[in-house]
Structure formats: C-alpha cells, structure tokens
C-alpha cells in the first residue's frame, strides 16, 4: 500500500468537516502529562546518496557486523536461507503482514497458511497446528494458560528452570496479574529437568519444559510426558531451535500434549533480534482451547477445493469471556516464509541440515574438551553446549573478538552458579577454520 501524505489544505478540510479547529482537539481524553510537549526534532531530508552514507555510518557503529562469525545461539540462530525463499516471499502475491479478516476473499493467503499448518504439524508430531503465534516466548505462555483452561479448577503450573530465561520472564509477565501460581522445577547435573518433585497432590494443570533446552540439552520428553500425565497434568514441550526435530524425535510423537516454540530458524533472518515466529500445535482433543486461528480445507458449491478460517477464538470473533487469547496470529509474511523454507528443504533436506549442525557442534565440543575445557552437562545436545575452562576464558574471548569471532555466551548473568561457563552454538554457517581457531586459542 502506497503512503499518500495529506496536504495542509486537505487536513484543514477534514477538520472542518468533523467540527474541530485544532489538531489537539482530537485527543481530549489523553491527559496533558502523557502528551509530548513541543515539536519533535526530526532531521531534514537527505538525498539518496547522502542517505546511503548515513546508513553506512550507522551500520559501522555495530559491535558485531555481518563479517563476524558468531558462535552464540541462545534462542536465535543463524542459518543459510535458500535464495528461493526471499525471492518468493517478496512477490506481491505473498508480501503482506496481515491475516485476512474476510478470509474467503484471500484464498492464496489462506492456502499458504494451511500449508504452513500442515508442515508444522508434521514437524512437531502433533494432530493440529494453528496459524502461528507472535514468538516462541508468548507461545509458551499461551500454552500454559491453555492448560489452565483445560484443567478447569487447577491454579498452578510448573516451569523448568532450564527453559530460556527470557521465555520464563514472559511467562511471569503473563501470569503476574492473575490468580495462578508458577512453580519452578530445577534441573539435574546432566542438564535435564528434574521432575521427581511432581505429585498428583499438587494439582498442576500443566508442566513446561524445553527440548533442546537453553543449554542445548535434549530432554527425555517421552519419560517426562508419562510422569506429567500420571500426575494428572498436561505436558507442554517448548523449543527455540525447531531444526533439532530433523534429527531427534518430535515432541508430539513422544507424547507431549502441547508443542510450541520459536520458528525463526526457518528462513527468517535474525535482523537485530526480530521478527520472530511462534509455532504452536496440540492434540486434536484440545483444539477448541487452542489460542490463535486455524485455517481449514473445504469445497465450494461446485466441488472446488477451497480454504476457510475454521476456528478463530479471539475476542473480536466471539464473546469476550469465551475467548482463549487476544492473539490472532503472527505476521502472515513470517508464516509463509517458514512454510516456503520447510517446503524448499523437504524432509530429506531438513534431516541432512540437522545432521550437519549436530556434527559441527560435536566437533567443536570434542575439540574444546581435548584442549582442556570441561563439559558442564553429560546429556545429548543439539547445536549448543556448555563448557567451563580452568583459566579466564574472557581474555581469550576478547582476542577472538578482535579477529571477528564471537566465541560463546557467558552464563553468569542468567545462572549465577554458572559464572565463567560458556554456551557455544555452531550451525552450518560456521566454517571449520573458525572452529579450529577457537580451539587453538583455548590451548594457549
């Protein structure tokens, strides 16, 4: 949609038509102390060439530029994006941030969302997937609220401490104004969530863990599902790296009731931390308590294949007290991007790429241990792992940073007991020479 600014004459005509003489009269309900006072200092216009120079100057101020090799994931992962994905998503048929309010008029958009749901359900091993959520963190919070709706009179949920710290902050923000209680579950020495404290007497509506978790550790979802369900609760299995399911069993196939997480890895660039994509699926029995939208397939009066908005349990569509969530879906462009990425790679491609990520991470892990590092957790990992060093690694980290290599995330800010322990991430984008250079520096 083109941006068509109004002239001062047009603005005056519009104000006269509605009976106001001053722009400020449009906002009488906004308190004075909440209004911006004075004129905004907006810089003057630039020529196209000057604007290019200005943008380059801003780019040069970045601490980590495109030429850096970043061995940090922690919920956001750098993957190669097939050229076909940005090409197709930039076409006018697909390039929209909106999901349609008159869905039957937007068959192309609906079919794209339907294909996304189908691919997502297969990847996560669930019966049904929705049209996406805002991001992995909000999806996990919404999943826990969903367990409380299904649990009816239950008031408590349990959340693993091995879940991404930012996700746990979002959950806390969601729950802060409610009557519900969050109980934090510790993790064992092997990096997996400790579920031994769960008993039926505590009446949890849901229990959430993340696999692979923040430490890159792959949880035993099958055992967790059995334990949680024996306690009368629902298991929510979250994730921040969906590529792992190209190599490991999907959470849904291992018995998880709700599966949700971040889909940024699937064709969406990191772009200063956004945008993101919340993937969300569940068992068919719970579909009417699921937040967001659901696109379904049907036929028209002539028997032609068509798509409709099958389920929309948002307050704009039904009575407010019956709504499951205020979220309708993510921006449509992110949903279509992930669908195109999954379709472009296919099942075989996703498996091969997952294996490549696993092998590269295992190579660095073994090499760092051989160089004197110590693995913090013994459980299987994907893409990421935590290592401790006998000496002060931060000095070597600074040396590597001068060579445009960002080696590891220090975990003390998130887990005080892991001060001077580092979370490393390796994807297919990291050359072996870079990994060898990190190991070489550790050996010194």
Answer yes or no: do 360 and 257 share one domain: no
Query: CA dist 285 to 120, 281, 314, 361, Å?
Result: 18, 12, 19, 38
Strands laid side by side in the 421-425 sheet:
374-375, 384-388, 421-425, 409-410
CA 194 to centroid of chain Cα atoms = 24
> Which pair of tokens denotes residue 126?
């669930």
Cα 419 versus chain centre, distance: 26
| Alpha carbons 267 and 242: distance in angstroms, whole number | 12
Residue 1: what pLDDT? 44
Q: Is residue 406 part of a domain?
A: yes
* E runs forming strands in 166-300: 181-185, 204-210, 234-239, 258-262, 278-282, 293-299
| The pLDDT value given to residue 438 | 97
Strands 128-129 vs 278-282: parallel, antiparallel or unpaired: antiparallel
Q: Which helix (H) or strand (E) holds 225?
A: helix 221-230
Q: Do 285 and 360 fall into the same domain?
A: no
Mean pLDDT by 10 residues, the chain (444 residues): 76 92 88 86 92 90 84 95 93 70 71 94 97 94 96 94 98 95 96 90 91 98 96 96 98 98 95 87 94 89 88 65 68 90 97 98 97 96 96 94 95 96 97 97 93
Answer yes or no: is 1 within a domain. no
Say whether both 243 and 354 belong to one domain.
no
**Cis peptide leading into residue 212 (ω within 30°):** yes
Helix, strand or coil, per DSSP, at residue 28: coil
Q: Which two tokens stand for residue 282?
A: 């569940």
Within 13 Å, how many C-alpha atoms sit on residue 118's CB side?
Answer: 12
Q: What is the CATH number of the domain that holds 395?
A: 3.90.1150.10
Dist CA 306 CA 107 (whole Å): 7
Looking at 342, 362, 379, the residue that finishes a domain is 342
183: phi then psi, degrees, rounded to nearest 5: -110, 130
> Taking the alpha carbons of 382, 387, 190, 211 in that order, is the dihedral positive or negative?
negative
- Same domain flag for 354 and 322: no
CATH number at residue 153: 3.40.640.10
- Structural domain count, the chain: 2
196 and 284 belong to one structural domain: yes
Both 98 and 111 in one domain: the answer is yes
- 31 located within any domain: no
Both tokens of residue 112? 């794209």
280 and 412 in a single domain? The answer is: no
CA distance 187 to 314: 36
Residue 8 located in a structural domain: no
What letter does residue 242 receive in the DSSP assignment? Answer: G
> Which DSSP string corresponds to 346-380?
HHHHHHHHHHHHHHHHHHHHHHHHHTT-EES--S-
Residue 14 lies in a domain: no
Provide the total of helices (H) and of strands (E) in the chain, helices listed first: 10, 15
Supply the pLDDT for residue 314. 62
Is 267 in the same domain as 380?
no
Q: Which residue do the tokens 């599966």 mark?
A: 259
What pLDDT, on the 0 to 100 scale, is given for residue 320? 63
Q: Are residues 376 and 425 in the same domain?
A: yes
328 and 274 within one domain: yes
Residue 96 contacts residue 105 (beta carbons within 8 Å): no
Same domain, 313 and 356: no
Cα–Cα distance, 394 to 400 (Å, whole number): 10
Q: Which of 292, 311, 342 is the last residue of a domain?
A: 342
> Is residue 4 helix, strand or coil?
coil
| Rounded distance between C-alpha atoms, residue 184 and residue 132, angstroms | 27
pLDDT of residue 260: 98
Tokens of 44: 């003057």
**What digits encode the pLDDT tens for the residues 336-372?**
999 999 999 999 999 999 999 999 999 999 999 999 9
Q: Which of 342, 358, 388 is the last residue of a domain?
A: 342
Residues 384 and 335 grouped into a single domain: no
What is the span of the domain harbouring residue 425? Answer: 69-81+347-443
d(CA 126, CA 134) in angstroms, rounded, equals 19
**What is the per-residue pLDDT across 293-335, written as a single tens digit (0 to 9) for each?**
889 999 988 999 988 888 876 655 666 666 677 676 667 889 9
Q: Please, what is the end-to-end C-alpha distance for the chain in angstroms?
A: 57
């Amino acid at each position: 949609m083109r941006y068509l600014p109004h002239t001062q004459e047009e603005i005056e005509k519009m104000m006269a038509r509605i009976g106001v003489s001053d722009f400020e009269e449009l906002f009488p309900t906004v308190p004075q102390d909440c209004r911006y006072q004075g004129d905004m200092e907006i810089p003057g216009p630039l020529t196209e060439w000057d604007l290019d120079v200005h943008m380059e100057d801003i780019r040069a101020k970045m601490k980590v530029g495109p030429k850096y090799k970043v061995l940090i994931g922690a919920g956001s992962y750098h993957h190669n994006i097939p050229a076909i994905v940005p090409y197709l998503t930039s076409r006018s048929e697909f390039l929209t941030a909106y999901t349609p309010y008159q869905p039957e008029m937007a068959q192309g958009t609906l079919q794209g969302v339907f294909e996304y749901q189908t691919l997502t359900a297969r990847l996560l091993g669930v019966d049904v997937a929705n049209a996406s959520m805002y991001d992995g963190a909000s999806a996990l919070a919404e999943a826990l609220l969903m367990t409380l709706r299904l649990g009816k009179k239950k008031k408590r949920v349990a959340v693993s401490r091995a879940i991404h710290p930012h996700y746990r902050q979002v959950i806390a923000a969601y729950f802060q104004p409610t009557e519900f209680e969050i109980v934090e579950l510790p993790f064992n020495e092997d990096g997996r969530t400790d579920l031994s404290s769960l008993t039926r007497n505590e009446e949890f509506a849901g229990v959430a863990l993340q696999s692979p978790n923040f430490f890159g550790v792959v949880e035993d979802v099958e055992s967790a599902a059995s334990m949680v369900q024996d306690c009368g609760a629902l298991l929510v299995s979250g994730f921040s790296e969906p590529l792992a399911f190209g190599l490991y069993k999907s959470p849904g196939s291992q018995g998880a009731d709700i599966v949700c997480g971040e889909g940024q890895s699937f064709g969406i660039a990191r772009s200063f931390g956004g945008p993101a994509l919340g993937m969300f699926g569940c068992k068919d029995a719970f579909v009417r308590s699921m937040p967001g939208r659901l696109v379904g397939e049907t036929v028209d009066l002539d028997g032609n294949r068509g798509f409709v908005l099958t389920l929309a349990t948002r307050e704009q569509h039904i009575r407010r007290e019956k709504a499951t969530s205020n979220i309708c879906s993510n921006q449509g462009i992110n949903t279509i991007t992930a669908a195109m990425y999954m379709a472009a790679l296919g099942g075989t491609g996703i498996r091969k790429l997952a294996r490549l990520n696993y092998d590269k991470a295992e190579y660095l892990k073994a090499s760092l241990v051989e160089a004197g590092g110590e693995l913090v957790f013994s459980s299987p990992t994907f893409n990421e792992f935590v290592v401790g060093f006998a000496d002060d690694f931060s000095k070597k980290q600074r040396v590597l940073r001068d060579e445009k290599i960002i080696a590891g995330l220090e975990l003390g800010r998130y887990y005080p007991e892991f001060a001077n322990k580092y979370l490393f991430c390796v994807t297919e984008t990291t050359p072996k020479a870079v990994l060898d250079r990190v190991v070489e520096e550790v050996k010194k």
